[in-house]
């Protein structure tokens, strides 16, 4: 049996389960710091992914609860892309990735973990971030705590998108 020590995750795994859509809960949350909401626009908000692929893994999420990307309000889609651009600039300034993956998994068959509420993933990537742990142990190492990523990115995202933090 393999063990990976990650004591900082206990707060996440022991907190009460959200009833309904976890993204809608974040959309209506009053404590953005606690929910790791980094930015709020008119149609979308930015949140740190609770199950990140890499440190700094962000999601741009429409407030509208929908799984229908094609039917999403065109203003929400335009703002989503504008926010994504600001997030990529912020990641570049704060975390200095060598590249970025941006994409959506629409539907369970496409790999969506939350298929009832669409969201755009923004994943910073570094040369060599797929290492022996991923290759040999089918385990991903995320070296930065979610709160630390959020604290570093929040003011820079606000600055990039023209909002005071």
The arrangement of strands across the sheet holding 120-125 comes to 37-40, 44-48, 58-62, 120-125, 99-103
What pLDDT score does 129 carry? 67
**Euclidean distance between CA atoms 61 and 112, whole angstroms:** 13
| Among 41, 85, 82, 83, residue whose Cα is nearest residue 63 | 41
Most confident of 10-14, 20-24, 60-64, 123-127: 60-64
Q: pLDDT category, 54, cuts 50, 70, 90?
A: confident
Helix (H, G, I), strand (E, B) or coil at 124: strand
CATH of 32-160, one of 3.40.50.300, 3.30.428.10, 2.60.40.650, 3.40.50.920: 3.30.428.10
The pTM for the full model equals 0.80
Q: What share of the chain has pLDDT > 70, as a percent?
A: 76
Q: Is 57 an active-site residue? A: no
CA separation for the pair 155, 8 (Å, rounded): 23
Q: What is the mean pLDDT of residues 38-52?
A: 93
The answer to whether residues 133 and 54 touch, using CB atoms and an 8 Å cutoff, is no
* pLDDT of res. 6: 63
Give dist(CA 82, CA 34) in Å, integer.
25
For position 165, what pLDDT does the model report?
46
Among 43, 57, 117, 119, the one annotated catalytic:
119
For 99-142, the pLDDT digits (tens) are 999 999 999 999 888 899 999 999 999 887 664 444 444 445 55
Alpha carbons 157 and 149: distance in angstroms, whole number: 12
Domain ranges of the chain: 32-160
pLDDT score, position 135:
42
Q: How far apart are CA 42 and CA 134, in angstroms?
A: 38
pLDDT value at residue 9:
62
Identify the residue with better confidence: 64 or 163.
Answer: 64
Residue 90's Cβ-side half-sphere holds a number of Cα atoms within 13 Å equal to 29
């Amino acid at each position: 049996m393999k063990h990976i020590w990650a004591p900082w995750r206990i707060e996440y795994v022991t907190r009460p389960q959200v009833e309904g859509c976890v993204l809608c809960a974040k959309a209506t949350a009053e404590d953005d710091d606690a929910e790791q909401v980094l930015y709020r626009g008119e149609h979308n908000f930015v949140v740190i992914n609770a199950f990140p692929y890499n440190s700094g893994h962000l999601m741009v999420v429409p407030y509208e609860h929908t799984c229908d990307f094609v039917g999403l309000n065109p203003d929400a889609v335009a703002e989503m892309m504008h926010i994504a651009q600001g997030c990529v600039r912020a990641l570049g300034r704060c975390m200095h990735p060598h590249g970025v993956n941006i994409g959506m998994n629409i539907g369970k068959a496409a790999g969506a973990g939350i298929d009832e509420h669409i969201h755009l993933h923004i994943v910073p990537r570094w040369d060599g971030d797929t290492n022996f742990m991923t290759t040999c142990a089918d385990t991903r190492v995320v070296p930065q705590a979610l709160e630390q990523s959020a604290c570093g990115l929040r003011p820079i995202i606000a600055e990039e998108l023209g909002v005071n933090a």
